[in-house]
Amino acid sequence: INTAAVPAEVGFGDTYPKGIENGIQFRNISFAYAGELKILKNLDLTIKSKRITALVGPSGSGKSTIVDLLAGFYLPSSGEIIIDGEPLQSLNLEDWRSTIGYISQEPFLFSTSIRDNIALGMQSAKEEDLMQAAEFAHAADFISALPDGMNTVLGEGGYGLSLGQRQRVAVARAIARQPSLYIFDESTSGLDKETAASVEKTIRTLSEDSTVILITHRETAAAIAHDVY
């Protein structure tokens, strides 16, 4: 049995993640999907706390695999991932994932109001917190300009908003959860120059209090990072 293909729920512990003050370490990590050559081999990687770390490379180079392992979707075939001094497998998986804010290249929005999209899964979210998240994501201005503001109902997949606007709503949704770790996966790819600049500004601001991983295939997009691999 290839342990890399085993869901990571197997063997995870019940330690509650306390945040990321001392960073993340990948120690001698190797991994291969079932039936494939190793994607990662003896990887050593340090992701420092409250900084932007960029993972740069073409498709298939292992960037997304690193994030999949970090989120606990798979177990490494060898090696260890340390989160703020604790082995990843000792953490409660659900609690650990709740500390991660993930923003993809093509964010999915639901056919409901912008408010509900930002507050997704947060039943007790306060209006001022949602608006503050929108402000941080540079989304407040265009939301306020809509006829119904935060109550504007979107079409399926966010129809009615541009890609850049959908991206900023998705960023606001992540910010509203106040995660310890943000993962931006090709999040500025396909955006116009002005919108990309606003998202990059948000990323810089978030790194002042949180740890940020930026996944990109473009070296120019990694220019805002403190550390580049």
Q: What pLDDT shows up at residue 69?
A: 95
- Taking alpha carbons only, the member of 115, 133, 225 closest to residue 179 is 133
Instruction: Evaluate if residue 87 carries a pLDDT over 60.
Output: yes
CA distance 114 to 206: 22
Q: Which tokens in the block code for residue 150?
A: 């935060």
| Least-confidence region, from 11-15, 76-80, 95-99, 169-173 | 11-15
pLDDT digits (tens, 9 = 90+) for 51-67: 999 999 888 889 989 99
CA distance 23 to 85: 8
- Average pLDDT on 97-102 reads 92
Distances (CA, A) of 108 to 104, 136, 166, 183: 9, 20, 8, 16
Task: Check if the beta carbon of residue 75 is closer than 8 Å to that of residue 32.
Answer: no
Give 82's pLDDT tier (boundaries 50, 70, 90).
Answer: very high
Per cent of the chain over pLDDT 70 is 94
Per cent of the chain over pLDDT 90 is 64
Residues that are catalytic: 186
Pairing of strands 181-185, 100-103: parallel
pLDDT digits (tens, 9 = 90+) for 121-161: 888 889 999 999 999 999 999 999 998 999 999 998 888 89
CA distance 111 to 102: 20
**Residue 221 neighbours by CB under 8 Å, 6+ apart:** 54, 188, 189, 214
Give 1's pLDDT tier (boundaries 50, 70, 90).
Answer: very low
Q: What pLDDT shows up at residue 11?
A: 47
Q: How many residues does the chain have?
A: 229
pTM value is 0.87
CA distance 191 to 149: 23
Mean of pLDDT over the chain:
89
What is the residue type of 21? E
Give 4's pLDDT tier (boundaries 50, 70, 90).
Answer: very low
**DSSP states of 8-70:** TTTT---BPP---SS-EEEEEEEE--TTS--SEEEEEEEE-TTSEEEEE--TTSSHHHHHHHH
- Average pLDDT on 153-180 reads 92
Give 2's pLDDT tier (boundaries 50, 70, 90).
Answer: very low
